[in-house]
Chain A
Amino acid sequence: MSASHPRTLFDKIWADHVVEQLEDGTALLYIDRHLVHEVTSPQAFEGLRAAGRRVHAPGNTIATVDHNVPTSDRRHGIAEPESRLQVETLQENVREFGVPFFDMLDERQGIVHIVGPEQGISLPGMTIVCGDSHTSTHGAMGAWAVGIGTSEVEHVLATQTLLQKPAKNMLVEVNGVLPPGCTAKDVVLAIIGRIGTAGGTGHVIEFAGPVIRNLDMAGRLTVCNMSIEGGARAGLIAPDETTFAYIEGRPFAPKGEDFDRAVAYWKTLPSDPGAHYDTIVRIDGSEIAPMVTWGTNPEAVLPITGVVPNPDEAPGEAERAQMQRALDYMGLTAGTKLTDIPVDVVFIGSCTNARIEDMRAAAAVARGRHVAPNVRALVVPGSGLVKTQAEQEGLAEVFIEAGFEWREPGCSMCLAMNPDKLLPGQRCASTSNRNFEGRQGKGGRTHLLSPAMAAAAAVTGRLTDIRELV
């Protein structure tokens, strides 16, 4: 491809990272940033050790603990033996292999996808990988960021490269102006509702259009985070002044003249006019409403004003059976108004929605109100720094006064690997990213929604249209 050929943001990042072109379009790609956590790395480090290999580029690598860590006071360590072993194994591995590490009691510790952008580690134009599918989050910086398996984690640790075939380009353009009460979470849920959970398979999604452009970085990170829920390993957004302003001054970002040089390069990255997209989806943002999922995958989503759908109205038998299976699991009856569904638990957190902006949005709803009787509501900040900032801004106090639990940072009830989990049959309004069967605990039932909507559900005890409370 000649340099004059109009290229997408993804095309440019790809071309800039090809170490060697191999057969059948497969390329050896250089990886700028590798984020490591305790769950998907032990077998990779063990593989290095068995083969007598070292970590090729520790300066491109950062590790932290997030999936397993308790969100209660943890100065006395981790009670659960298997979780403790995974964390201790990472502690030993980073020491042995010389990998930079934010340990559990470090204020910079947090969910790896919150930490990367927050520290200025994830930057525009980079290739970023992590053994976690929500690595797509970092695409909001204008980077190509993908989740990889443990074999690939080992491959990147050993060689700082990845064997890849280029994905197709998909453009999702969100036009118009977002109505009041709608957030980035509602935008991405609406997108997934439109394209489906496999709509982006084989593609990189570039999110564009005025609605995306007007989102702050927190919102952009939320949108890209859920690219994988639409089937795309990576989602990205062209870097602009919002991006540059967010990066400047962050601990690991370039400084001074280096920053200016970096910005000059980053400005060359946005897709060229006339660049080719294999698939284009256009959405009218002004028609988006606050969204909530009713089923067991993220495409099973509706505006909060809707009702539980009827399987008998499904287009075919396979779809009908799948919908019925979802309703059975969720304990829902067709025709029920979504706002009549009571909740037992509210979870505000996860790599999707645990940034300071999410804390503020939830606190604005919680302020002066109280969690409904029989509802347990947890707020889990995305990092130690988010937690400290929320405490300084008085948000933690708002939550505590309103009856929410204010916790230590980690992945927590998004995937229930630590003690924060749903009991069988419990129903949860959750700001996380997956409503799969058993995701938040065996037999647990998940409704995905925005932080403001989650806080609204906490205070009313049922799924609630946020527009009724503001």
Chain B
Amino acid sequence: MQAFTILTAIAAPLPIANVDTDQIIPARFLKTIKRSGLGKSLFAGMRYDDEGAERPEFVLNQEPYRGADILIAHENFGCGSSREHAPWALLDFGIRSVIAPSFADIFYGNCFKNGILPVVLPRSVCDQLMEDAKLGANARITVDLERQVVVRPSGEEFPFSVDPFRRHTLLNGLDEIGQTMQHTAEIATYETVRHTAKPWMPSISL
């Protein structure tokens, strides 16, 4: 996984609440066995018309937001499905950070597994950042995971919180499975105890 430390970039304003995973990547695009190539289908319903042509009014079809690395949205971003295709599509488009007043739990967790930093800031702050974002390339926003601050173009800083464990993993781009496998002995011990305590626990075999 790609590490995330500090990012200064164009931010795209998406002032919508409850952006769901079917909006981020509709189910018809989940028929893939790869993680890559989903960027073109990101927000497909809002981004393209029935003939597949770009809708010029959608923010990611406009300059300079075609090159946005940050997305700013309203409450409950990413609600719905557990499909990791949602962060994969964002990442493939180039989005490395989403800033919103709140996120759905599963989407929030999935972001960290893919080098995307979801940042929770109060609605009033998101509204200010949304105004900055509307200025386009003249108003780059900085997301600093090391210092846990978002910096406006004016230099004003807003601190945000993030779980220390997730922060450490993301800052260093660590392989979580590799880390967990260092606990193989503890897992084996747990399994032995479990077998003794719950001897009735069936093993599935066909």
Contacts and interface: CB of A to CB of B under 8 A. Distances in A.
Interface range on chain B (Cβ under 8 Å from partner): 35 or more
A213 interface: no
Contacts of A146: 106
Contact of B177 (A53, A59, A132, A259): A53
Contact of A297 (B79, B110, B190): B79
A58 B204 CA distance: 8
Contacts of A161: 180, 183, 187
B22 A101 contact: no
Contacts of B27: 67, 415-417, 439
Interface stretch (B6-14, B141-149, B194-202): B194-202
A283 B76 CA distance: 24
Given A40-B84, A149-B84, A100 B165 contact: no
A23 B165 contact: yes
B45 to A, nearest CB: 5
Nearest to B34: A43
B50 A262 contact: no
A262 B164 CA distance: 38
Contacts of A62: 204
Given A101-B206, A439-B22, A132 B82 contact: yes
Interface string B40-56: 00000100001000000
B176 interface: yes
Measured as residues with beta carbon below 8 angstroms from the partner, the interface class of chain A is: 35 or more
B186 interface: yes
A233 B79 CA distance: 11
B33 A42 contact: yes
Contacts of A372: none
A442 B33 contact: no
Interface in A27-56: 28, 30, 32, 39-40, 42-43, 46-47, 51, 53, 56
A40 B177 CA distance: 17
Interface in B19-45: 20, 22-23, 26-28, 30-35, 45
Contact of A148 (B26, B82, B184, B191): B82
Contacts of B176: 151, 155, 163
B137 to A, nearest CB: 27
B49 to A, nearest CB: 11
B59 interface: no
B76 A436 contact: no
A132 B81 contact: yes
Contact of B33 (A43, A132, A148): A43
Contact of B76 (A51, A201, A259): A201
A410 B106 CA distance: 24
B97 interface: no
Given A201-B105, A233-B106, A30 B22 contact: no
Interface of A: 19-20, 22-24, 26, 28, 30, 32, 39-40, 42-43, 46-47, 51, 53, 56-62, 67-68, 80, 82-83, 85-86, 89, 100-101, 120-121, 131-133, 135, 146-152, 154-155, 158-161, 163, 165, 197-198, 201-202, 228, 231-233, 252-254, 258-259, 261-262, 265, 297, 318, 322, 325, 415-417, 424, 434, 436-439, 442-443
A-B interface, 10 closest residue pairs, ranked by CB to CB distance from nearest? A59-B203, A151-B113, A258-B200, A42-B33, A147-B82, A149-B84, A82-B31, A149-B110, A150-B84, A436-B22
10 contacts: A59-B204, A83-B31, A100-B206, A149-B87, A151-B110, A152-B113, A159-B180, A161-B183, A198-B79, A231-B104
